Amino acid sequence: MEQTKLRYLRSLLDRKPTPDTSLGKFVKEIRSREEFLRNCYDEKFDLSSDNFVEMMVVDGCYILELLRRPSFRVPGWFSTFKNDLLLLENQLPWQVLDCLFNLTKTSQEVSLYQLTKGLSGMKHNPLEKCVMKNLLDAVRNSLVGSLLNTRSYDVDWTPIPSVTLLEEIGVKFQSASNERDLSDITFNLENGVMEIPYVMIRSNTESLFRNLIAYEQCLDNFDKCPILSYAMLLNQLIKSAKDLDSLIQKGIIDTELSEEDTVCFFNRLRYSTERINFFYSSLARQVNECYHRRWLRRWLARIKRDYLYNPKSILSLFSNAVILALILTVLQTVYGILAYYKPN
C-alpha cells in the first residue's frame, strides 16, 4: 500500500496542475499546521516532526488523487476504496486535505466538498459552509447537516408501530424530495402522511452506517446522534419483508440485497450502541397519537386480518358465535322458567 501511495504522489507531482504543486510547498504548508494536526488525534503519535509531516503529505495526496481518478467511479473500485476511506480509524484531518487540495486544484474543480460528493453513495449534497473534521464528518454532514441544530432531542421516547400496522389505520408513506437530507423524515398528524427520503442499500452501506454511528459516539455531543436515531426509526418501521416491500413499491427504499438481508440490515444497525437522546421524539409522539386516535380502524383491520382472509379463523369465529347464541338461548329459557314459578 505504501508503494501505491508514493506512486500516486509522484503522479500528482509529474502532472503539476498548479505552480504551487511541489513537494517542498506541500511539506512547508503541512509543517506550519503540525501542532494543530497532532491535536486532532486522541492518540499521541510517537513520530518525529519529519515523519509526521511526511505521513500527512503522502496520505493526503493519495486520498485526493484517488478521489480525482475516473477509476474511482467504477462500481467495484468505488466500493473497495470507499470502505477504506470511511473507516473511523483511517480518518485524516480535513485541514490536511483542504490545504493540499488548494495547492493542487485544477480550473474545473470548485471545492473539496464537490470532490467528495458521492462518497455516501446517496443523492444528498454536503453543506459547504460547514466546518468539516474529516471525510467521515463530511459524509455525515451531507446526510444530516441541515438538521443538526434544528431538531430537538428527547431522552424519553417510545417505539412506533411498523409500516404494515400504520398502513392498516390509513397512514400513507411517500418518498420525499431528493433535496432533503436523508434523516429529514416528517409526519403530518392531520392527513396521516409520512415522508421519507429515498435511500439506496448497497453491499457496503452497512459498513458506512456503522462507521458513521461509531463516529457520532466519539464526538463531544455523543448523546445527540441523528444517524443512529435514523437507524433506530427505520428498525421500528421495518420489521418484516412486507414492511420493506411497501417502502420499495413507494420508491423510498432501493436495495441490492435480498429482502431478508435488508430487513436484517436495519435490525442490526443499533446493536452494541449506547443509549442516546432520540432525534425523532416529536415525530414518534405524533405517530403514536395518530395510532391511538384511529382505534376503530385498528379494530376493523385486526378483524379483517385475523378472520376475513383465514378460512379456519372464519370457521372458528362462526362456531364461537353459534355457541354463544346457544348459551344465551339457554339462559333466556332458564330465566323465563324461573320468572314463571317465582315472579318476585
Same domain, 199 and 261: yes
Domain containing residue 314: 310-341
Closest CA to 187 of 288, 77, 306, 273: 288
Pairing of strands 186-188, 193-196: antiparallel
* Number of C-beta neighbours around residue 148 at 10 A: 17
How far is residue 192's CA from residue 100's CA, in Å, rounded to a whole number? 50
Whether 259 and 324 share a structural domain: no
Do 104 and 34 sit in the same domain of this protein? yes
Tell whether 331 and 280 lie within a shared domain.
Answer: no
Tell me how many domains the chain contains: 3
pLDDT at 294: 77
Residue 128 lies in a domain: no
Q: Would you say residue 132 has pLDDT above 70?
A: yes
- Window from 44-53, 72-81, 104-113, 208-217 with minimum mean pLDDT: 72-81
Is the residue at 110 inside a domain? yes
Specify whether 228 is located in the same domain as 319.
no
Residues 109, 181 share a domain: no
In-domain check, residue 121:
no
Residue 40 has pLDDT above 80, yes or no: yes
Question: Would you tell me how many other CB atoms lie within 10 Å of the CB of residue 152?
Answer: 9
Residue 319 located in a structural domain: yes
Tell me the C-alpha distance between 239 and 223, whole Å. Answer: 25
Q: Do 317 and 289 share a domain, yes or no?
A: no
Residue 98 clears pLDDT 60, i.e. is over it:
yes
Q: Do 282 and 325 belong together in one domain? A: no
Q: Are residues 251 and 314 in the same domain?
A: no
Same domain, 44 and 167: no
Whole-number pLDDT of residue 278: 83
Q: Does residue 125 lie within any of the structural domains?
A: no
Instruction: Please choose, from the candidates 89, 232, 98, 215, the residue with its C-alpha nearest in 3D space to the C-alpha of residue 159.
Output: 232
Please state the pTM of the whole predicted model: 0.81
Residue 76, SS3 per DSSP: helix
Q: Directed axis angle between helix 49-68 and helix 2-15, to 10°? A: 70
| Structure confidence at residue 314 as a pLDDT band (50, 70, 90) | low
Residue 131 lies in a domain: no
Does the pLDDT value for residue 213 go beyond 80?
A: yes
**Least confident segment among 2-6, 79-83, 172-176, 253-257:** 79-83
Same domain as 167, residue 93: no
Asked, for residue 147, whether it belongs to a domain, the answer is no
Cα 53 to Cα 34, 248, 257, distances in angstroms: 7, 48, 42
Q: How confident is the model at residue 46 (pLDDT cuts 50, 70, 90)?
A: confident
In the predicted model, is pLDDT for residue 131 greater than 90? no
- Predicted pLDDT of residue 75: 55
pLDDT-wise least confident of 96-100, 227-231, 263-267, 330-334: 330-334
Residue type (1 letter), 273: T
**Is there a single domain that holds both residue 292 and residue 168?**
yes
Report CA 305 to chain centroid distance, whole Å.
32
In a domain, 211, yes or no: yes
Q: Which residue has the higher pLDDT, 201 or 269?
A: 201
